[in-house]
Amino acid sequence: MKKYLKNIMAGTMVFAMAAALAGCGSNEPAPAEDGGEKVEDAGTLIMATNAEFPPYEFHEGGEIVGIDAEVAAAIAEKLGMGFQIEDMAFDSIIPAVTSGKASFGMAGMTVTEERLQNVDFSDSYATGVQVVIVKEGSAIATVDDLFAEGANNLVGVQTGTTGDIYATGDIEDEGLGTIERFNKGADAVLALTQDKIDCVIIDNEPAKEFVAANEGLVILDTAYAEEDYAICFAKDSELTEQVNGALKELIADGTVQSIIDKYINAE
């Protein structure tokens, strides 16, 4: 069995644990700070993200928009706090959160066992699927072709993503190909259109957008892995319960779904 199955199970367990934990303790958000405390503690939520991941976060008209940006803004509003987005490389998000430079990380980020060693996660607010993009007529016809004996593909991923982690473990470490790491998913897709690599492993929603924007690309029917997206926090941060409480309310009252529908079901 492929390694990613472990990750799916870990994600599910975390989800159950987070749900159980959220049941105890008060969900009452603290009032917005008006006195002498540090701004990042009480007044303004700083979200670390990598805005190269449509429809979750991307640049539009000089602004960062998308599902995560809107859900996070709604959380801040509910908590009576200010809101600010810091755009950075995907693999800088967890360090920004653990060092306290950001209040939380939200970036279509998958809950994994490895990440849980460094951060805590909120409840999951969306699911993702790792898919494989190829050129039309590619010799790679199913995900299993990537793991076939004698396979030797150049596989593009965004650095530090679960696509990178799975492909490194399942393909590179098994001697079945080489991983090419890119700063942006779009750069990996560009390399694919230029025949510099054989496929790209990336989350399904950005994959759909990249394929729509480039001729001659297809997404394989078979999925590589299924995942839960959640917000990450510094371990034992006081914010986790507050933000998660607001997130739960926004899930329960349909706000999160309507934001998702606005970006995903619009076509």
Chain contacts with ligand ARG (rule: CB under 6 A): 49-50, 52-53, 57, 90, 107-110, 128, 158, 161-162, 203
Q: How far is the CB of 183 from ligand ARG (least distance, A)?
A: 10
Side-chain half-sphere CA neighbours of 156 within 13 A: 23
Closest approach, Cβ 6 to ligand ARG, in A, equals 15
Amino acid identity for residue 146 in this structure: L
Shortest separation between residue 66's beta carbon and ligand ARG, angstroms: 9
Residue 243 CB, nearest approach to ligand ARG (Å): 18
- Nearer Cβ to ligand ARG (105/245): 105
Minimum distance from residue 113 beta carbon to ligand ARG (Å): 13
Closer Cβ to ligand ARG, 163 or 245, answer by number: 163
In whole angstroms, the minimum distance from the beta carbon of 29 to ligand ARG comes to: 26
Q: Is 45 or 225 the residue whose CB approaches ligand ARG more closely?
A: 225
By beta-carbon proximity to ligand ARG, the closer residue of 162 and 242 is 162
Which residue, 44 or 159, has its beta carbon nearer to ligand ARG?
Answer: 159
- Of the pair 56, 242, the CB lying nearest ligand ARG is at 56
